[in-house]
Structure 1
Amino acid sequence: MSGADILNYVNAEILVLIPVLIIVGQTLKQIPKMKNWIIPIVLAIFGIIIAAVIMEDVVGGVIQGILAAGMAVYVHQLTIQTTRKKKEDMKEK
């Protein structure tokens, strides 16, 4: 299942949450004592809370918040992996 497939399950009003979570994640990464493994957990919790408020539905908010956090982490990892691979390919030339 690709990111595009997962995106089909995210409600339109929650799509704005994905870039917000990416920014929050990048901000958390700048905190020296913040461990990398904690960031996705914080993003999930933050995403659930904000999605529940937006949707005015706790159950739907939990599902949409997790999906939005997952997409934010997916986009971040995709960026890292493609950037790293591009640098590795440039070194090989």
Structure 2
Amino acid sequence: MLTELLSNITLNPALGLVFPALMVLGYVLKQTPHFPDWLIIWVLFIVGMISGVIAIGLNVDGVANGIIAAGMAITSHQAWKQTIERK
């Protein structure tokens, strides 16, 4: 049942704007004094899911696309950081 549900998820182009917006939000939160780093990813996931639901609708597709957009933002930031700041 879960496999069937997940196989029907499609990436929606409407979230092409959500990904960069989440990148900017993550940067702003990182620069905010006294905002814990561990909380940034959770804020991005929540905002991503809300954005997905607004853009696509309150269904599995909307929530999954929001999570995917947040994951893309977090992963691309970490890839950039690990590449630039390698020790």
TM-score with structure 1 setting the length: 0.77
Superposition misfits of 4+ residues, deviation over 4 angstroms: none
- Unpaired stretches in structure 1, ≥5 consecutive residues: 1-8, 89-93
**What is the number of equivalent residue pairs in this alignment?**
78
Q: Distance in 1 between matches of 2:33 and 2:77?
A: 19
1:83 corresponds in structure 2 to 84
User: What CA distance in whole angstroms lies between the structure 2 residues aligned with 1:54 and 1:78?
Assistant: 27
Q: Over the residues paired in the alignment, what is the CA RMSD in angstroms? A: 1.3
Maintained 8 Å contact 1:29/1:36: yes
What is the percent sequence identity of the aligned residues?
Answer: 37
Please report how far the alpha carbon of residue 34 of structure 1 lies from its aligned counterpart in structure 2 after TM superposition: 0.9
Task: Name the TM-score, length of structure 2 as normaliser.
Answer: 0.81
Q: Distance in 2 between matches of 1:24 and 1:13?
A: 18
- 1:58 maps to 59
Unmatched segments (≥5 aa) in structure 2:
1-9
In the TM superposition, residue 56 of structure 1 has moved relative to its aligned partner by 2.0
1:36-59 Cα shifts (integer Å, max 9, x gaps): 111010000001001100112332
Deviations 1:7-38 (A, max 9, x none): xx632111211000000000011111111111
